Amino acid sequence: MHQYSEFAYIYDELMNEVDYIAWIEYLEQIMAIENASVKNILELACGTGNITLPLAIKGYDIVGMDISEEMLNVAVKKSKEIGVDIVYLEQDIRNLEFEVDGLDCVLCCCDGFNYILKDKHLKNIFTKVYYQMKEEGIFIFDISSYYKLTKILGDNTYGEEKENITYMWQNFFNYENNTLDMDLVFFVKDENGKYDKFNEYHTQRAYKENEIANILREVGFSKIKTYGDFSFEKPKEDTERITFVCKK
């Protein structure tokens, strides 16, 4: 079973404690600080559209891209229900193909790049983004930090029993290639009260801040800022989410 297949249909329920409204506000604050004039946006690894949909409702012309057909099914369903037209593209961003130049903004939120396991693939993506962005464009993305993947998630087991979903999540950190293997098992209650079980295996790469900054510089980005945990402060040793703000 590939990543974010069956999991797609319960993703939003498991993410219901994430404050996406605050996340959107944070992104817009960054755009304002950078004096970025943003009308069109390409969002990479958009998932079920939790960032995409609110931005489209606010009037941005946004395209969402994701490798998971199932995550996009959920995204399309939500946008149809609300009556907002959004173009969603099913694509592996490691071979990003998007022939629209002059983008105002490219986004990738909530770990999208942690799923890119190899430097060379991250470099491919950054290169493509660099060339598709307009001169004054802005590239904003976040990653779960090396600290979070090694010290908080690494080699830990989590479990939770919710009303309709029970899950176990076992992690194994591999220091040879700095990857975190996550073994997820879900039990989802159907309308008759019977539980269906399924597994997914996810792998995330733990990147150090400077590894990413170096690749960004290599491909040409010259203005790179980093912020820790939704603040406007530099990341600290125990920062869990690092947001990168990049310009040419």
Ligand X SMILES: C[S@@+](CC[C@H](N)C(=O)[O-])C[C@H]1O[C@@H](n2cnc3c(N)ncnc32)[C@H](O)[C@@H]1O
The token pair at 239 is: 């920062």
Find the residue with minimal CB distance to ligand X: 47
Do 135 and 107 contact (CB within 8 A), yes or no? no
Q: Which residue from 34, 66, 104, 142 is in contact with ligand X, where contact means CB under 6 A? A: 66
Triad 211, 121, 219: Cα angle to 5°: 60
Give the interface segment with ligand X, choosing from 76-84, 87-95, 172-180, 193-201 (CB under 6 A).
Answer: 87-95
Distance CA 47, CA 53 (A): 11
Distance CA 159, CA 15 (A): 15
Q: Which residue from 24, 30, 38, 46 is in contact with ligand X, where contact means CB under 6 A? A: 46
Question: Cα dist. 149→13, 91, 192, 200, 241 in Å?
Answer: 23, 26, 37, 18, 10
Q: Report the nearest approach of ligand X to the CB of residue 73 (Å).
A: 11
92 binds ligand X (CB under 6 A): yes
Helices 209-219, 119-132: axis angle to 10 degrees equals 50
- Between residue 106 and residue 165, which ones bind ligand X under the rule CB under 6 A? 109-112, 115
Q: Report the nearest approach of ligand X to the CB of residue 108 (Å).
A: 7
Total residues at interface with ligand X (CB under 6 A): 18
Looking at beta carbons only, is 110 or 180 nearer to ligand X?
Answer: 110
Q: Report the nearest approach of ligand X to the CB of residue 196 (Å).
A: 21
Looking at beta carbons only, is 4 or 244 nearer to ligand X?
Answer: 4
Looking at beta carbons only, is 14 or 248 nearer to ligand X?
Answer: 14
Burial group, residue 62, by CB count within 10 angstroms (0-12, 13-18, 19+): buried
Residues that bind ligand X (CB under 6 A): 4, 45-47, 50-51, 66-68, 71, 92-94, 109-112, 115
